[in-house]
Structure 1
């Protein structure tokens, strides 16, 4: 008879080990739980009904089992339980061979069929699988719902973005028609939240007016002011208008006109004509006189207007004029006359050149001759050059007034609309 021991975490696995290693003819002699928690099974092959000496029950000498009427023999009870187990075993199994009553009980291995525990596990696994499948289906449906919701939100955001882009594109086109630069337009759109409402345009124009730097304080010029700029921009005419307004309001006392233009033939004759009409003195600064000496002579006058020579930015004599202005008294304010009829890049070049003399502001001239005011407005915004006066005609003294940002924007919108209608009528012959 061959004896083998098998250990496993539980009885089920231990029996499977015995079945796999020994086969269906194995007979389990004993089983016990070890201190480690494992189950140990002792099995025999070719069992002959005897027990190994180590498993045989030990008897004490002269041992007499206690006999009482009320107590039964434990070994007999145990054998009776074994007999009942044999009777309940399947028919195809070989009969259990009982050992001696004094030995441990032995019985054959159950057949290679799934026991109730295996069936229960399988049923449990089947139930778990069905529940898992249901959970997976529920999760898939939930994911589909979430995906549909995200797609719907994305489509909504795309429609909203397309709408906002369409509003922004239309707004940019309207601002471009005013002649504004891309920089000013982008800054304006970034600052204003467009809602697609009717008041968007008015809010944009109001915010654009806030960008324009204008001179604050008294609407009347006082002190020493020099008018600078290229030839033909309206410096002398602007001086005549401002001088005439001052004379009409305060009289001719305290007003003097000065010119530094000795480069053109009879360049100062127009200024002298203004002086005779207004009954104010006219001084000419040439190579024999100094500008600061003339300014000191009329320092007590309330209004001293200086007309400078108009020169092309590439003219070599322009540097001499700029040097004269740099050396002038600190009390002399310098205004740059910018014609609204010039291109934006031309205006920027003029500002860059004359900025050497630390300009105090500018005069926007020829508004009445311009087809678009946006170029000049963009330049003063980008350069931060305050607008002091705007001039819009040849009439003296009417066609000049102190700059007001909102009025300038209104003029820009009116000019753009007027020339758009005029261009359309010329284009289509209506």
Structure 2
């Protein structure tokens, strides 16, 4: 894509310049009013600044090279015309020189997208534009969506300005995966004895804890035990006791820090001890302090914060901030089967530089548990993986 900026006293004058140099098939990418001229800050005039572009194939079709005429021109003119042909015929001549020029043009386009502040109003190739709308529908943060769109545009033109919607989605998935590769992913690390699961009420902490424990017993052949500090709900204790009986593992109920220390001593011979906490209103910072009063976070502990994808992103961010006093190793995102919008996983993981341990997509224990990875998270967001 050839991109150029024009400045003129009026829009009609600017359009004349565009048509004269780029032809009638040029596309206006952006226009704005600017001030030019003047003297020591005074008497400046309003002008129109237009950024226009022309597709290489379109320009070649509308302006064929006249070889007879070129032969009569000076050597410099011939070289210039040849240079233009080299630059825009990148499909047929993928040389390193052509690619370098193409990358330069793409870089200019990416800079314009950044300067515009957003991609709204800027014409995009249909498959790229459709996927951008998908990212918006997934509630991917605007800044992230624009960075992804910039990457997709670069790949689009390096691919000869042609690709299917599926190919564009695949490019996007790989770009999202690359963004998340620097974060810590995967389930229980087995490097620490205690696994603590915390989160607000209604996100499915106890069920998720049982799924992870069952996975450790059945898949990894670990000796596991339960500690619950959820003494506010009798039903929660009974629920965890039921899971403990099914898995044939012990459970200890703790009301105070002394209870917790006694329980950890009793369970010293177990490989992994899973700790269930009460779901409370985490808008109240007092609860986090209460949690610190029952659980000794100085112990060898891995802590997962459970968030439901059916919640608003703003609420999830507030929950994470309320836990600023507690070190969070990874997130667990639940209820993937109850929503079709997954962009907040990417948004929150990036915002708090925290990876994802697990994702859950149902109530079945231990089946509806997915050990997270950048690839699985990315494919979920682009729609390559469906949950029902």
Q: Which TM class, normalised by the smaller chain length?
A: 0.5 to 0.7
> 1:347, 1:376 within 8 Å by CA — same for their partners in 2?
no
Q: Please name the residue that 2:217 is paired with.
A: 247
2:140 to 159, 180, 189: 180
What pairs up with 1:184-195 in 2 under 5 angstroms?
Answer: 184-192=144-152, 193=154, 194-195=156-157
What pairs up with 1:61-80 in 2 under 5 angstroms?
Answer: none
Q: Please name the residue that 1:159 is paired with.
A: 53
Q: Please name the residue that 1:284 is paired with.
A: 253
Query: Within 2, Cα distance between the matches of 1:287 and 1:347?
Result: 28
1:336 to 305, 308, 315: 305
Q: Deviations over 1:65-115 (max 9, x none)?
A: xxxxxxxxxxxxxxxxxxxxxxxxxxxxxxxxxxxxxxxxxxxxxxxxxxx
Query: Within 2, Cα distance between the matches of 1:326 and 1:285?
Result: 9
The alpha-carbon deviation at position 315 of structure 1 amounts to: 3.9
Runs of 5+ unmatched residues, structure 2: 1-15, 27-50, 55-108, 113-120
Judging changes above 3 Å, is the alpha-carbon distance between structure 1 residues 415 and 368 closer, same or farther for their aligned structure 2 residues? farther
Runs of 5+ unmatched residues, structure 1: 1-146, 420-430
The alpha-carbon deviation at position 401 of structure 1 amounts to: 2.2
> 2:186, 2:358 within 8 Å by CA — same for their partners in 1?
no
The alpha-carbon deviation at position 316 of structure 1 amounts to: 6.1
> 2:257, 2:295 within 8 Å by CA — same for their partners in 1?
no
SS of corresponding position for 1:346: helix
The alpha-carbon deviation at position 360 of structure 1 amounts to: 0.6
TM-score normalised according to structure 1 size? 0.56
Q: Deviations over 1:308-349 (max 9, x none)?
A: 111112346513334237742341111001111111111111
> 2:22, 2:53 within 8 Å by CA — same for their partners in 1?
no
Whether 2:183 is the aligned partner of 1:314: answer no
Query: Within 2, Cα distance between the matches of 1:175 and 1:225?
Result: 34
Query: Within 1, Cα distance between the matches of 2:169 and 2:294?
Result: 43
Judging changes above 3 Å, is the alpha-carbon distance between structure 1 residues 280 and 158 closer, same or farther for their aligned structure 2 residues? same
TM-score normalised according to structure 2 size? 0.61
Judging changes above 3 Å, is the alpha-carbon distance between structure 1 residues 153 and 226 closer, same or farther for their aligned structure 2 residues? same
What pairs up with 1:290-301 in 2 under 5 angstroms?
Answer: 290-301=259-270
Corresponding pairs, count: 272
The alpha-carbon deviation at position 271 of structure 1 amounts to: 0.6
Q: Deviations over 1:283-313 (max 9, x none)?
A: 1110373424433442442111000111112
User: What's the RMSD between the two structures over aligned residues?
Assistant: 3.2
Whether 2:101 is the aligned partner of 1:232: answer no
> 1:389, 1:400 within 8 Å by CA — same for their partners in 2?
yes
SS of corresponding position for 1:225: strand
> 1:226, 1:306 within 8 Å by CA — same for their partners in 2?
yes
The alpha-carbon deviation at position 218 of structure 1 amounts to: 7.4
Q: Please name the residue that 1:197 is paired with.
A: 162
Query: Within 2, Cα distance between the matches of 1:377 and 1:339?
Result: 14
Q: Please name the residue that 1:59 is paired with.
A: none
Judging changes above 3 Å, is the alpha-carbon distance between structure 1 residues 356 and 149 closer, same or farther for their aligned structure 2 residues? closer
SS of corresponding position for 1:304: strand
Larger Rg: 1
The alpha-carbon deviation at position 246 of structure 1 amounts to: 2.2
> 2:187, 2:372 within 8 Å by CA — same for their partners in 1?
no
The alpha-carbon deviation at position 404 of structure 1 amounts to: 1.8
- Greater relative contact order (CA < 8 Å, ≥ 6 in sequence): 2
The alpha-carbon deviation at position 190 of structure 1 amounts to: 4.0
Query: Within 2, Cα distance between the matches of 1:399 and 1:417?
Result: 13
> 2:202, 2:279 within 8 Å by CA — same for their partners in 1?
yes
Judging changes above 3 Å, is the alpha-carbon distance between structure 1 residues 149 and 378 closer, same or farther for their aligned structure 2 residues? closer
> 1:256, 1:282 within 8 Å by CA — same for their partners in 2?
yes
2:176 to 208, 215, 229: 208
